[in-house]
Amino acid sequence: MDGESSRKYLALIERACDAPDGSIDRESRVVIDAVPLDDVRSRLGGSARPEDPIGVLALTSEVPFSGQEEEPRWVEIEVSSSEMPDGNAVQTNSAFRGEEGDAPLFVRVSNESPNLGLVEVLDEIARMPDIPDAPEDAISSVLRRTTRGRVAAVAVYDVGQASMAALVDKNEHPLAFFDLGWPVQFNSKSYPVNGRFSPLIPFGAYPAPVVLSHLDWDHWGYAIKSGSAKKDKTSGAWLTQPVYKPDALHRAWLMRRPQVAKHKLGPSHVHFVQTLAATSKCAGDCALLFWPEPLSAITVDSVSIIRNDPGGYKATPAFLRNNESLSLRVKGAGASVLLCGDADYPSIPARFLRRLTGVVAPHHGGKTTSGAMPEPIGHGRMIASTFKGCYPSIPSPAVLSEATSKGWRVSYTDDRGSCSRCSENHGNRLIKLREVPVCGCGGVEEGGLCVSR
């Protein structure tokens, strides 16, 4: 096809779901995360500044591409708004919430091998070499100013097939978030039906920081307001052009430094980190904090942020992305709760797996290493943030069976019901530490954040 009707991109193509133990869901949808070739080449040639946000195109397909491998792969693709003459193109849709009536795009994988030097360019951009690792005391200060001595419980919010939890005080007010996820477009059937849901409404002097377990859309996607795929008039390329929520960006975000090449992170994640970095430079009360890699954990009062490492087994890019990540443990009044993100239990330091009374299940209740699940102290509570039917392997029957046999009481956020307080249907769940929190100001009910059950 001629250059006026199609454009070429460097793209990462991968299946949308993999389990924390490294197994592949062969029935899951396909994600295409791309950047225009001209955009990356301009940075390689020095004609564009590294800090300028890259162009991204985030799409999904119901069917795999010809020769689709189980592991994510970098390819060169051609994108058009109309079907291609040879019939080898796959029809795709936007991965993010867009406008009604967004037209599908057609994608064809090129036979040419991608220029992996361009992947190295993306890797260098995403690492943000001008931003040093955060000092331990800077991370401690961010946690201390919102959480110290105040954490009463863990709230696991009903965000469909995604992940968002918070440490809350005795008034149910979020003090710090662990992940800020939202379902991708092809899991739209799982969208929360809670019309009031507003987790970022301010309750204190400082916005609640976000501890990001790892860079996956369903763990940070609530920051995206919209992302329609449209043709850019200047470049002629179709771009997703994500619009982010200002109140999501204007707070501290703690994450491990992105590794595009090692973890095969797509360009949309690079764009998000670039946007956070730019926000940090222009706003004094928020910051992009990169985890200091030599450090195994940071503890402030009752809260520990933990560096996960899988120890080299099953070291595929998708597995490493989930397991070279961050977890969080919080303690109080004899209780101890672990929030795992998508990390399998063997990747989490053993000392943080002991004497747990609560767990937010790894990977939404997906398959984990058999026998590695910790036993609870007493009759513990395990919560899986999920929506049945989005993926055939989540939640995992094997995980439910093991959890039950070890004494965990398992609850799911998609077990929605009418809330007598906010009059909305939701599945927000609670794991208490010191007490059952109850809001006295009405703000929690107004925001649909009730977590008393």
Residues of the chain with confidence (pLDDT) below 70: 1-4, 16-28, 47-48, 50, 63-64, 66-70, 86-87, 98-102, 282-285, 312-314
Q: Which pLDDT does position 406 carry in this prediction?
A: 96
Please give the Cα distance from 353 to 129 (Å, whole number). 34
Q: Which residues contact 64 (CB under 8 A, 6 or more apart)?
A: 15, 30
Q: Which residues contact 249 (CB under 8 A, 6 or more apart)?
A: 223, 275, 276, 279, 286
Taking residue 91's Cβ as centre, other Cβ atoms within 10 Å add up to 13
Choose the CATH number for 136-228+244-446 among 3.90.120, 1.10.287, 3.60.15, 2.60.40.
Answer: 3.60.15
By the 10 Å C-beta count (0-12 exposed, 13-18 middle, 19+ buried), 282 is classed as: exposed
Please give the Cα distance from 37 to 167 (Å, whole number). 42
Please give the Cα distance from 42 to 31 (Å, whole number). 25
CA nearest neighbour of 112 among 77, 65, 83: 77
Q: Report the 3 state secondary structure along 30-68.
A: EEEEEEEHHHHHHHHCCCCCCCCCCCCEEEEECCCCCCC
Residue labelled with tokens 């890699």: 293
Phi-psi region of 378 (alpha: psi -120 to 50; beta: other; left: phi over 0): left
First to last CA, the chain: 57
Within the chain, what is the greatest distance between any pair of CA atoms? 67
Can you give the pTM of this predicted structure?
Answer: 0.94
Q: Element (H or E) spanning 174, and its range?
A: strand 174-180
CA nearest neighbour of 359 among 344, 222, 370, 371: 344
Residue 1, SS3? coil
Q: Give ranges for CATH 3.60.15 in the chain.
A: 136-228+244-446
